[in-house]
Amino acid sequence: MAYPWFRLFCDTPHSPKLRVAARRAGVPMHAALAVWIAMLCHAGGRRDAAERGSLVGWSDEAAGVALDMDEATVARLRLEAMQGLLLEGERIAGWDRRQAEAPSTARVREWRQRQKDKRRANVAKHDETLRGVTPPFHATVETTCNAMKRADSSSTYTPPPTPKNLIQNSRESLFLGGVGGVGGESDSVAKHDETLRNVPPAKPPRSRASAKTAMKRDWRPSREEELFAHEMGLDAAAVVEDFRDYFLGKGEKLTDWDARFRRWVREEVRRRRAVEDGPPGSAMSRPAAVRQSFHGQDEQARLGTLDLARRIALGDRGEA
């Protein structure tokens, strides 16, 4: 049993037999009770079923040390006081009757054992089936990624076979295998070669992501990014300088500084437009005010021109 247990009578502290044994030995009731419980624990903890219920291996000295009692007192209780009442020689009296295993427990144990045997039989049957199965062709083709992984865990590395080597090896295996007849050999080789041609090539190993780098003092964007800033109406040189100084002071690390520069250009355009439009809720935005100012200047110039023409016309008439 995984966890040895034993049944204990609920009225054991008031057992008349235990009181008689305590009187015979001349010890208090609690001393006799302690020795009796120790005996039951010893008898119930035996792993061998034939030894359960017996005091095989019992030591009066060890029990006395464990219970803070004299060895002679323990021996007197075991050899004299409890004999005929609680003990029958080296066995607990009535152990087989009181500690009998319940039928349900035996049934559960048998059912669990049957389930365990069934699982073992299924595993053995599955392994036997796999031994007689020829692995599919794709299981023999090794990808570059898997080969690299195995190379990291072993000292020797064999590169994956190429389609050319696979075709050559398959031809040799077919010829050496003794395929019946010359015609049968050629047909089998042609069919196998056609199968190998349809095998998709192994995927190249995925490259690791670029490492992040910090901003450098001599960093400049690519020509395309400078043209992008120019097309957005910005001074490319000034924007590059502001961008570089900002991230030099910030100390941030990125994987693609060109992409961050494009985002910086778009953000700069939005900031400038927000400044030109003025704060939200104002009576007139800056573009509207500028247009109105230009319109007023044009109107004043037009009126001045008309006034000058009128004066010239009146002066000409007065001379006439």
Q: Please write the tens of the pLDDT for every residue from 227-239.
A: 888 888 888 899 9
pLDDT of residue 178: 47
Residue 155 has pLDDT above 80, yes or no: no
The arithmetic mean of pLDDT across residues 29-54, rounded, is 86
Report which of residues 89 and 154 the model is more confident about: 89
Q: Please answer whether residues 169 and 141 qualify as being in contact, where contact means their C-beta atoms are separated by less than 8 angstroms.
A: no
Residue 46: is its pLDDT beyond 60? Answer: yes
Higher per-residue confidence, 280 vs 106: 106
pLDDT greater than 50 at residue 318? no
Q: What is the pLDDT at residue 141?
A: 53
39-53, 95-109, 125-139 — most confident range: 39-53
Are 98 and 30 contacting, i.e. CB atoms less than 8 angstroms apart? no
Mean pLDDT, residues 290-310 taken together: 59
pLDDT level of residue 115 (50, 70, 90 thresholds):
very high
Q: Residue 23 pLDDT > 50, yes or no?
A: yes
> What is the reported pTM?
0.34
| Overall average pLDDT of the 180-207 stretch | 61
Confidence band of 299 (pLDDT split at 50, 70, 90)? low
Is residue 130 predicted with pLDDT exceeding 50?
yes
Q: Output the pLDDT for position 26.
A: 92
Nearest to 63 by CA among 93, 40, 46, 90: 40
Q: How many CB atoms lie within 10 A of CB 82?
A: 25
Q: Choose between 168 and 178: higher pLDDT.
A: 168
Question: Count of alpha carbons within 13 Å of 282, Cβ hemisphere only?
Answer: 13
- 281 pLDDT tier (thresholds 50, 70, 90): low
What pLDDT sits at residue 231?
87
Q: What share of the chain in percent tops pLDDT 70?
A: 61
132 has a pLDDT exceeding 70: no
For the residues 56-64, what does the mean pLDDT come to? 92
Mean pLDDT of 298-304: 62
pLDDT over threshold 90, residue 284: no
Whether the pLDDT of residue 128 is over 70: the answer is yes
Nearest to 24 by CA among 13, 12, 36, 32: 32
Give the residue-averaged pLDDT of 175-199. 59
- What is the pLDDT of the chain when averaged over all its residues? 76
167 compared with 197, residue with greater pLDDT: 197
